[in-house]
Chain A
Amino acid sequence: MSAALSSGRLARRRSRRRRALIEAGSVILGVVLLIWSLTPIYNMLLIALDPEEGEIEFTGNLWPPEPSLDGFRDVVTQEARYLEDFWHQFGNSAYIGLLTMFLTVLIGSLASFAVSRMRLSRGSLLTNTALLTYAIPASFLIVPYYRIMHSYGLSNSLWAVIAAQVAFAIPFAILILQLYARLIPFELDDAARVDGASAIQVYLRIYLPLMTPALAVVAVYALLLAWNDYLYQAVLLPPQNTTVSVIQGQLFADNDAPWNAMMAAVIIYVLPPMVLLFALRRHVAASLTMGDVGV
Protein backbone atom coordinates (compact mmCIF):
# COMPACT_ATOMS: atom_id res chain seq x y z
CA MET A 1 0.00 0.00 0.00
CA SER A 2 2.56 2.56 1.10
CA ALA A 3 4.97 1.34 -1.59
CA ALA A 4 2.37 1.98 -4.30
CA LEU A 5 1.69 5.40 -2.85
CA SER A 6 5.35 6.41 -2.79
CA SER A 7 6.00 5.12 -6.30
CA GLY A 8 3.09 7.23 -7.52
CA ARG A 9 4.56 10.24 -5.76
CA LEU A 10 7.92 9.46 -7.33
CA ALA A 11 6.43 9.35 -10.82
CA ARG A 12 4.68 12.64 -10.23
CA ARG A 13 7.87 14.23 -8.99
CA ARG A 14 9.74 12.89 -12.02
CA SER A 15 7.19 14.31 -14.43
CA ARG A 16 7.31 17.64 -12.61
CA ARG A 17 11.07 17.72 -12.93
CA ARG A 18 10.80 16.89 -16.63
CA ARG A 19 8.36 19.68 -17.18
CA ALA A 20 10.68 22.12 -15.44
CA LEU A 21 13.55 20.94 -17.67
CA ILE A 22 11.47 21.46 -20.79
CA GLU A 23 10.49 24.90 -19.59
CA ALA A 24 14.11 25.85 -18.87
CA GLY A 25 15.09 24.53 -22.30
CA SER A 26 12.50 26.68 -24.06
CA VAL A 27 13.55 29.76 -22.10
CA ILE A 28 17.19 29.22 -23.09
CA LEU A 29 16.21 28.68 -26.72
CA GLY A 30 14.11 31.83 -26.62
CA VAL A 31 16.98 33.88 -25.20
CA VAL A 32 19.40 32.53 -27.81
CA LEU A 33 16.98 33.39 -30.63
CA LEU A 34 16.39 36.84 -29.17
CA ILE A 35 20.12 37.52 -29.06
CA TRP A 36 20.52 36.20 -32.60
CA SER A 37 17.75 38.47 -33.86
CA LEU A 38 18.85 41.59 -32.03
CA THR A 39 22.64 41.37 -32.44
CA PRO A 40 22.81 43.12 -35.83
CA ILE A 41 20.43 45.82 -34.64
CA TYR A 42 22.50 46.29 -31.53
CA ASN A 43 25.63 46.48 -33.66
CA MET A 44 23.96 49.15 -35.78
CA LEU A 45 23.12 51.21 -32.72
CA LEU A 46 26.64 50.76 -31.37
CA ILE A 47 28.17 52.15 -34.57
CA ALA A 48 25.62 54.97 -34.81
CA LEU A 49 26.47 56.18 -31.29
CA ASP A 50 30.21 56.16 -31.91
CA PRO A 51 31.69 59.66 -32.19
CA GLU A 52 34.36 58.42 -34.64
CA GLU A 53 33.37 58.37 -38.29
CA GLY A 54 35.01 55.26 -39.64
CA GLU A 55 35.02 53.28 -36.42
CA ILE A 56 33.30 49.91 -36.76
CA GLU A 57 35.81 47.73 -34.98
CA PHE A 58 34.39 45.95 -31.97
CA THR A 59 36.71 46.81 -29.12
CA GLY A 60 35.15 44.70 -26.42
CA ASN A 61 32.98 47.48 -25.01
CA LEU A 62 29.35 46.48 -24.84
CA TRP A 63 28.42 50.15 -24.75
CA PRO A 64 30.43 52.94 -26.41
CA PRO A 65 32.56 54.66 -23.73
CA GLU A 66 31.53 58.10 -24.97
CA PRO A 67 28.23 57.70 -26.77
CA SER A 68 27.44 60.71 -28.88
CA LEU A 69 24.66 61.77 -31.15
CA ASP A 70 27.08 63.27 -33.70
CA GLY A 71 26.05 60.65 -36.22
CA PHE A 72 22.40 61.61 -35.93
CA ARG A 73 23.27 65.31 -36.05
CA ASP A 74 25.20 64.79 -39.30
CA VAL A 75 22.18 63.04 -40.78
CA VAL A 76 19.69 65.71 -39.77
CA THR A 77 21.91 68.55 -41.01
CA GLN A 78 22.94 66.51 -44.09
CA GLU A 79 26.64 67.08 -43.44
CA ALA A 80 28.04 63.59 -43.86
CA ARG A 81 29.29 62.18 -47.15
CA TYR A 82 26.60 60.24 -49.06
CA LEU A 83 23.94 62.00 -47.00
CA GLU A 84 24.00 65.48 -48.59
CA ASP A 85 20.54 64.83 -49.97
CA PHE A 86 19.19 62.64 -47.20
CA TRP A 87 15.85 64.36 -46.63
CA HIS A 88 15.15 64.59 -50.34
CA GLN A 89 15.86 60.88 -50.67
CA PHE A 90 13.83 60.12 -47.60
CA GLY A 91 10.98 62.06 -49.17
CA ASN A 92 11.32 59.96 -52.32
CA SER A 93 11.22 56.74 -50.28
CA ALA A 94 8.15 57.96 -48.43
CA TYR A 95 6.47 59.05 -51.68
CA ILE A 96 7.07 55.65 -53.27
CA GLY A 97 6.07 53.75 -50.13
CA LEU A 98 2.88 55.67 -49.40
CA LEU A 99 1.64 55.73 -52.98
CA THR A 100 2.37 52.01 -53.38
CA MET A 101 0.42 51.39 -50.20
CA PHE A 102 -2.51 53.57 -51.21
CA LEU A 103 -2.80 52.28 -54.77
CA THR A 104 -2.45 48.64 -53.74
CA VAL A 105 -5.22 48.98 -51.17
CA LEU A 106 -7.46 50.93 -53.55
CA ILE A 107 -7.04 48.83 -56.69
CA GLY A 108 -6.87 45.54 -54.81
CA SER A 109 -9.97 46.19 -52.72
CA LEU A 110 -12.01 47.37 -55.72
CA ALA A 111 -11.13 44.29 -57.76
CA SER A 112 -11.62 41.95 -54.84
CA PHE A 113 -15.00 43.58 -54.10
CA ALA A 114 -16.18 43.09 -57.66
CA VAL A 115 -15.02 39.48 -57.81
CA SER A 116 -16.01 38.19 -54.39
CA ARG A 117 -18.93 40.41 -53.34
CA MET A 118 -20.58 41.39 -56.59
CA ARG A 119 -19.91 37.88 -57.90
CA LEU A 120 -18.64 38.98 -61.26
CA SER A 121 -18.74 35.81 -63.28
CA ARG A 122 -15.33 34.41 -64.20
CA GLY A 123 -13.78 37.00 -61.93
CA SER A 124 -11.88 34.37 -59.98
CA LEU A 125 -10.13 33.36 -63.19
CA LEU A 126 -8.59 36.81 -63.25
CA THR A 127 -7.34 36.62 -59.69
CA ASN A 128 -5.94 33.11 -60.04
CA THR A 129 -3.89 34.00 -63.10
CA ALA A 130 -2.54 36.86 -61.02
CA LEU A 131 -1.17 34.39 -58.49
CA LEU A 132 0.40 32.41 -61.30
CA THR A 133 2.68 35.36 -62.05
CA TYR A 134 4.39 34.70 -58.72
CA ALA A 135 6.20 31.88 -60.54
CA ILE A 136 8.55 34.57 -61.77
CA PRO A 137 10.16 36.47 -58.90
CA ALA A 138 10.27 40.25 -59.21
CA SER A 139 14.05 40.31 -59.40
CA PHE A 140 13.96 38.19 -62.56
CA LEU A 141 11.99 40.84 -64.42
CA ILE A 142 14.28 43.79 -63.92
CA VAL A 143 15.72 43.72 -67.46
CA PRO A 144 12.37 43.73 -69.29
CA TYR A 145 11.12 46.36 -66.84
CA TYR A 146 14.07 48.58 -67.58
CA ARG A 147 13.21 48.49 -71.28
CA ILE A 148 9.46 48.70 -70.89
CA MET A 149 9.67 51.77 -68.68
CA HIS A 150 11.57 53.49 -71.48
CA SER A 151 8.83 52.70 -73.95
CA TYR A 152 6.16 53.88 -71.48
CA GLY A 153 8.09 57.11 -71.04
CA LEU A 154 8.47 56.50 -67.32
CA SER A 155 12.25 56.11 -67.23
CA ASN A 156 13.93 58.04 -64.41
CA SER A 157 10.55 58.67 -62.79
CA LEU A 158 9.46 57.61 -59.33
CA TRP A 159 6.26 56.34 -60.95
CA ALA A 160 8.20 53.55 -62.66
CA VAL A 161 9.09 52.12 -59.25
CA ILE A 162 5.59 52.67 -57.89
CA ALA A 163 4.01 50.88 -60.85
CA ALA A 164 6.34 47.92 -60.43
CA GLN A 165 5.72 47.61 -56.69
CA VAL A 166 1.94 47.91 -57.06
CA ALA A 167 1.93 45.21 -59.74
CA PHE A 168 3.88 42.86 -57.47
CA ALA A 169 1.82 43.60 -54.35
CA ILE A 170 -1.65 43.26 -55.86
CA PRO A 171 -1.96 39.48 -56.39
CA PHE A 172 -1.12 38.86 -52.75
CA ALA A 173 -3.45 41.68 -51.66
CA ILE A 174 -6.34 40.17 -53.58
CA LEU A 175 -5.68 36.72 -52.13
CA ILE A 176 -5.80 38.06 -48.57
CA LEU A 177 -8.86 40.23 -49.22
CA GLN A 178 -10.78 37.35 -50.79
CA LEU A 179 -10.00 34.98 -47.95
CA TYR A 180 -11.08 37.55 -45.41
CA ALA A 181 -14.20 38.62 -47.30
CA ARG A 182 -15.60 35.13 -46.77
CA LEU A 183 -16.04 35.98 -43.11
CA ILE A 184 -18.53 38.76 -43.86
CA PRO A 185 -22.10 37.56 -44.30
CA PHE A 186 -23.61 38.19 -47.71
CA GLU A 187 -26.91 39.05 -46.02
CA LEU A 188 -25.42 42.43 -45.09
CA ASP A 189 -24.83 43.33 -48.73
CA ASP A 190 -28.25 42.06 -49.73
CA ALA A 191 -30.00 44.01 -46.97
CA ALA A 192 -28.23 47.18 -48.01
CA ARG A 193 -29.20 46.63 -51.63
CA VAL A 194 -32.85 46.14 -50.66
CA ASP A 195 -32.67 49.44 -48.81
CA GLY A 196 -31.57 51.07 -52.05
CA ALA A 197 -27.78 51.34 -51.66
CA SER A 198 -25.80 51.40 -54.88
CA ALA A 199 -22.80 49.19 -55.51
CA ILE A 200 -20.39 51.97 -54.64
CA GLN A 201 -22.25 52.68 -51.40
CA VAL A 202 -22.02 49.03 -50.38
CA TYR A 203 -18.30 49.22 -51.07
CA LEU A 204 -17.81 52.39 -49.07
CA ARG A 205 -20.20 51.81 -46.16
CA ILE A 206 -20.12 48.04 -45.64
CA TYR A 207 -17.17 46.45 -47.35
CA LEU A 208 -14.41 48.91 -46.38
CA PRO A 209 -15.31 49.28 -42.66
CA LEU A 210 -15.74 45.54 -42.13
CA MET A 211 -12.56 44.69 -44.01
CA THR A 212 -10.34 47.01 -41.95
CA PRO A 213 -8.11 44.24 -40.48
CA ALA A 214 -7.41 42.70 -43.88
CA LEU A 215 -6.86 46.13 -45.44
CA ALA A 216 -4.37 46.90 -42.67
CA VAL A 217 -2.42 43.74 -43.46
CA VAL A 218 -2.40 44.55 -47.16
CA ALA A 219 -1.29 48.12 -46.47
CA VAL A 220 1.58 46.98 -44.26
CA TYR A 221 2.62 44.39 -46.81
CA ALA A 222 2.65 46.89 -49.69
CA LEU A 223 4.51 49.52 -47.69
CA LEU A 224 7.20 47.08 -46.55
CA LEU A 225 7.59 45.73 -50.07
CA ALA A 226 8.32 49.21 -51.39
CA TRP A 227 10.31 50.30 -48.32
CA ASN A 228 12.63 47.29 -48.40
CA ASP A 229 13.13 47.24 -52.15
CA TYR A 230 16.62 47.87 -53.44
CA LEU A 231 16.86 46.47 -56.96
CA TYR A 232 14.07 48.39 -58.68
CA GLN A 233 14.97 51.70 -57.06
CA ALA A 234 18.65 51.23 -57.93
CA VAL A 235 18.02 50.41 -61.57
CA LEU A 236 15.02 52.56 -62.48
CA LEU A 237 15.93 55.79 -60.69
CA PRO A 238 18.68 58.25 -61.73
CA PRO A 239 21.50 58.80 -59.18
CA GLN A 240 20.52 62.42 -58.56
CA ASN A 241 16.95 61.54 -57.63
CA THR A 242 17.28 58.32 -55.70
CA THR A 243 16.12 56.83 -52.40
CA VAL A 244 17.58 56.02 -48.99
CA SER A 245 17.95 52.31 -49.61
CA VAL A 246 19.98 52.83 -52.78
CA ILE A 247 22.36 55.16 -50.96
CA GLN A 248 22.73 52.65 -48.15
CA GLY A 249 23.67 50.04 -50.74
CA GLN A 250 26.64 52.18 -51.81
CA LEU A 251 28.21 51.59 -48.40
CA PHE A 252 29.35 48.18 -49.53
CA ALA A 253 31.56 49.61 -52.23
CA ASP A 254 33.35 52.03 -49.92
CA ASN A 255 35.86 51.17 -47.23
CA ASP A 256 35.88 54.42 -45.35
CA ALA A 257 32.31 55.57 -45.44
CA PRO A 258 31.06 57.70 -42.53
CA TRP A 259 29.74 54.62 -40.78
CA ASN A 260 28.25 56.28 -37.74
CA ALA A 261 26.15 58.69 -39.81
CA MET A 262 25.12 55.93 -42.22
CA MET A 263 23.94 53.72 -39.37
CA ALA A 264 22.12 56.66 -37.81
CA ALA A 265 20.41 57.17 -41.17
CA VAL A 266 19.35 53.52 -41.21
CA ILE A 267 17.88 53.85 -37.74
CA ILE A 268 15.88 56.88 -38.87
CA TYR A 269 14.82 54.99 -42.00
CA VAL A 270 13.45 51.94 -40.15
CA LEU A 271 11.40 54.01 -37.71
CA PRO A 272 8.33 54.80 -39.88
CA PRO A 273 7.47 51.16 -40.73
CA MET A 274 7.97 50.24 -37.09
CA VAL A 275 5.57 52.97 -36.01
CA LEU A 276 3.05 51.81 -38.61
CA LEU A 277 3.33 48.17 -37.55
CA PHE A 278 2.95 49.16 -33.94
CA ALA A 279 -0.11 51.29 -34.68
CA LEU A 280 -1.76 48.49 -36.66
CA ARG A 281 -0.52 45.60 -34.52
CA ARG A 282 -3.98 44.65 -33.28
CA HIS A 283 -5.33 44.24 -36.81
CA VAL A 284 -2.22 42.52 -38.08
CA ALA A 285 -2.17 40.03 -35.22
CA ALA A 286 -5.87 39.32 -35.70
CA SER A 287 -5.51 38.62 -39.41
CA LEU A 288 -2.44 36.47 -38.95
CA THR A 289 -4.60 33.93 -37.21
CA MET A 290 -7.53 34.14 -39.56
CA GLY A 291 -7.06 31.44 -42.17
CA ASP A 292 -5.23 28.26 -42.87
CA VAL A 293 -2.94 30.35 -44.99
CA GLY A 294 -1.81 32.28 -41.98
CA VAL A 295 -0.15 34.96 -44.04
Chain B
Amino acid sequence: MKIINDFVSQFDASISFDKTRIIKSGNRYYYLSRNLKENVPKGFFYIGEYLGTEKGESFFPSFILLEKIAETKANKIIIDKKTAWLFICGRDIFRKGIITGNSVKKGNFTLVLNENNECLGFGKLIMNLRGVPDSKEVAIKNILDLGDFLRREKRQSQKKYNRTAKKN
Protein backbone atom coordinates (compact mmCIF):
# COMPACT_ATOMS: atom_id res chain seq x y z
CA MET B 1 0.00 0.00 0.00
CA LYS B 2 2.82 2.39 0.91
CA ILE B 3 4.43 1.83 -2.46
CA ILE B 4 1.20 2.95 -4.19
CA ASN B 5 0.84 6.04 -2.00
CA ASP B 6 4.48 6.93 -2.62
CA PHE B 7 3.95 6.59 -6.35
CA VAL B 8 0.81 8.75 -6.27
CA SER B 9 2.55 11.43 -4.19
CA GLN B 10 5.14 11.90 -6.97
CA PHE B 11 2.37 13.69 -8.86
CA ASP B 12 1.69 15.96 -5.85
CA ALA B 13 -1.55 14.02 -5.37
CA SER B 14 -3.15 11.64 -2.92
CA ILE B 15 -5.93 9.09 -3.28
CA SER B 16 -7.95 7.84 -0.35
CA PHE B 17 -8.37 4.16 -1.14
CA ASP B 18 -10.42 1.89 1.09
CA LYS B 19 -7.38 -0.10 2.30
CA THR B 20 -9.46 -3.20 3.02
CA ARG B 21 -10.24 -3.46 -0.67
CA ILE B 22 -6.66 -3.38 -1.92
CA ILE B 23 -5.07 -6.79 -2.23
CA LYS B 24 -1.65 -7.94 -3.28
CA SER B 25 -1.35 -11.11 -5.33
CA GLY B 26 2.24 -12.04 -6.09
CA ASN B 27 3.82 -8.69 -6.87
CA ARG B 28 0.62 -7.22 -8.35
CA TYR B 29 -1.86 -4.92 -6.61
CA TYR B 30 -5.61 -4.90 -7.27
CA TYR B 31 -8.53 -2.80 -6.08
CA LEU B 32 -11.70 -4.82 -5.50
CA SER B 33 -15.33 -3.78 -5.59
CA ARG B 34 -17.37 -4.85 -2.54
CA ASN B 35 -19.10 -7.49 -4.66
CA LEU B 36 -15.83 -9.05 -5.73
CA LYS B 37 -14.44 -8.96 -2.22
CA GLU B 38 -17.49 -10.71 -0.79
CA ASN B 39 -18.10 -13.28 -3.53
CA VAL B 40 -14.85 -14.33 -5.09
CA PRO B 41 -12.64 -17.17 -3.84
CA LYS B 42 -8.84 -17.12 -3.77
CA GLY B 43 -6.59 -18.49 -6.47
CA PHE B 44 -7.38 -15.88 -9.13
CA PHE B 45 -4.92 -14.75 -11.76
CA TYR B 46 -6.37 -11.22 -12.13
CA ILE B 47 -9.15 -9.43 -10.31
CA GLY B 48 -11.04 -6.13 -10.21
CA GLU B 49 -9.01 -3.05 -11.06
CA TYR B 50 -5.34 -3.76 -11.60
CA LEU B 51 -3.31 -0.99 -9.95
CA GLY B 52 0.24 -1.93 -10.77
CA THR B 53 3.22 -4.16 -10.15
CA GLU B 54 5.99 -3.95 -7.59
CA LYS B 55 9.46 -4.88 -8.77
CA GLY B 56 12.08 -4.49 -6.05
CA GLU B 57 11.70 -0.95 -4.83
CA SER B 58 10.09 0.26 -8.03
CA PHE B 59 6.40 0.46 -8.82
CA PHE B 60 5.01 0.10 -12.33
CA PRO B 61 1.50 1.60 -12.44
CA SER B 62 -1.45 0.48 -14.51
CA PHE B 63 -3.43 2.88 -16.68
CA ILE B 64 -6.34 2.36 -14.32
CA LEU B 65 -4.27 3.82 -11.47
CA LEU B 66 -3.07 6.70 -13.66
CA GLU B 67 -6.70 7.51 -14.47
CA LYS B 68 -7.56 7.51 -10.79
CA ILE B 69 -4.69 9.93 -10.14
CA ALA B 70 -5.87 12.11 -13.03
CA GLU B 71 -9.24 12.51 -11.28
CA THR B 72 -7.45 14.35 -8.44
CA LYS B 73 -5.58 17.64 -8.41
CA ALA B 74 -2.41 16.00 -9.62
CA ASN B 75 0.36 17.38 -11.84
CA LYS B 76 -1.06 17.31 -15.35
CA ILE B 77 -0.36 18.73 -18.73
CA ILE B 78 -2.69 18.78 -21.71
CA ILE B 79 -1.22 18.26 -25.14
CA ASP B 80 -2.50 18.92 -28.65
CA LYS B 81 -3.82 16.26 -31.03
CA LYS B 82 -0.63 15.67 -33.02
CA THR B 83 1.52 15.54 -29.91
CA ALA B 84 -0.96 13.12 -28.30
CA TRP B 85 -0.59 10.75 -31.26
CA LEU B 86 3.21 10.96 -31.14
CA PHE B 87 3.16 10.44 -27.37
CA ILE B 88 1.18 7.19 -27.58
CA CYS B 89 3.64 6.10 -30.26
CA GLY B 90 6.31 6.32 -27.55
CA ARG B 91 7.77 9.77 -28.35
CA ASP B 92 8.78 12.47 -25.88
CA ILE B 93 6.86 15.75 -25.77
CA PHE B 94 8.14 19.01 -27.24
CA ARG B 95 7.29 22.23 -25.44
CA LYS B 96 5.27 23.55 -28.36
CA GLY B 97 2.85 20.60 -28.16
CA ILE B 98 1.76 21.49 -24.62
CA ILE B 99 -1.50 23.45 -24.49
CA THR B 100 -1.77 23.94 -20.76
CA GLY B 101 -0.77 22.40 -17.46
CA ASN B 102 -0.28 22.92 -13.75
CA SER B 103 3.07 21.19 -13.69
CA VAL B 104 5.92 23.48 -14.65
CA LYS B 105 8.99 22.59 -12.65
CA LYS B 106 11.88 20.58 -14.03
CA GLY B 107 12.12 17.16 -12.36
CA ASN B 108 8.37 16.86 -11.67
CA PHE B 109 6.42 13.81 -12.70
CA THR B 110 3.32 14.73 -14.64
CA LEU B 111 0.32 12.99 -16.10
CA VAL B 112 -0.18 13.55 -19.81
CA LEU B 113 -3.75 14.21 -20.98
CA ASN B 114 -5.26 14.79 -24.38
CA GLU B 115 -7.71 17.58 -25.25
CA ASN B 116 -10.61 15.39 -24.02
CA ASN B 117 -8.95 15.20 -20.59
CA GLU B 118 -8.19 11.51 -21.06
CA CYS B 119 -5.02 10.23 -19.49
CA LEU B 120 -2.54 8.95 -22.08
CA GLY B 121 0.28 8.14 -19.69
CA PHE B 122 2.90 9.99 -17.71
CA GLY B 123 6.32 11.52 -18.04
CA LYS B 124 9.01 13.58 -16.35
CA LEU B 125 9.63 17.26 -16.97
CA ILE B 126 13.15 17.78 -18.15
CA MET B 127 12.90 21.56 -18.46
CA ASN B 128 11.08 24.35 -16.64
CA LEU B 129 7.99 25.12 -18.68
CA ARG B 130 7.71 28.79 -17.70
CA GLY B 131 9.17 31.25 -20.11
CA VAL B 132 10.02 28.98 -23.05
CA PRO B 133 6.67 28.63 -24.88
CA ASP B 134 8.04 28.06 -28.39
CA SER B 135 11.04 25.96 -27.56
CA LYS B 136 11.51 23.06 -29.95
CA GLU B 137 13.34 21.07 -27.31
CA VAL B 138 12.00 18.04 -25.52
CA ALA B 139 10.11 19.20 -22.43
CA ILE B 140 8.73 15.93 -21.12
CA LYS B 141 10.37 12.55 -21.22
CA ASN B 142 7.87 9.79 -21.98
CA ILE B 143 7.87 7.18 -19.22
CA LEU B 144 4.66 5.28 -19.94
CA ASP B 145 2.03 5.75 -22.63
CA LEU B 146 -1.11 3.92 -23.79
CA GLY B 147 0.73 2.44 -26.76
CA ASP B 148 2.22 0.09 -24.18
CA PHE B 149 -0.90 -2.10 -24.58
CA LEU B 150 0.17 -2.83 -28.15
CA ARG B 151 3.88 -3.10 -27.36
CA ARG B 152 3.13 -5.66 -24.61
CA GLU B 153 1.26 -7.83 -27.11
CA LYS B 154 4.12 -7.53 -29.57
CA ARG B 155 6.62 -8.53 -26.87
CA GLN B 156 4.41 -11.46 -25.94
CA SER B 157 4.13 -12.74 -29.51
CA GLN B 158 7.89 -12.24 -29.95
CA LYS B 159 8.46 -14.40 -26.86
CA LYS B 160 6.15 -17.03 -28.29
CA TYR B 161 8.00 -16.88 -31.63
CA ASN B 162 11.37 -17.24 -29.88
CA ARG B 163 10.14 -20.24 -27.90
CA THR B 164 8.91 -21.95 -31.08
CA ALA B 165 12.16 -21.16 -32.89
CA LYS B 166 14.17 -22.63 -30.01
CA LYS B 167 12.12 -25.85 -30.04
CA ASN B 168 12.67 -26.27 -33.78
Is this pair of chains taken from one and the same complex?
Answer: no
- Which positions in A face B, CB cutoff 8 Å? none
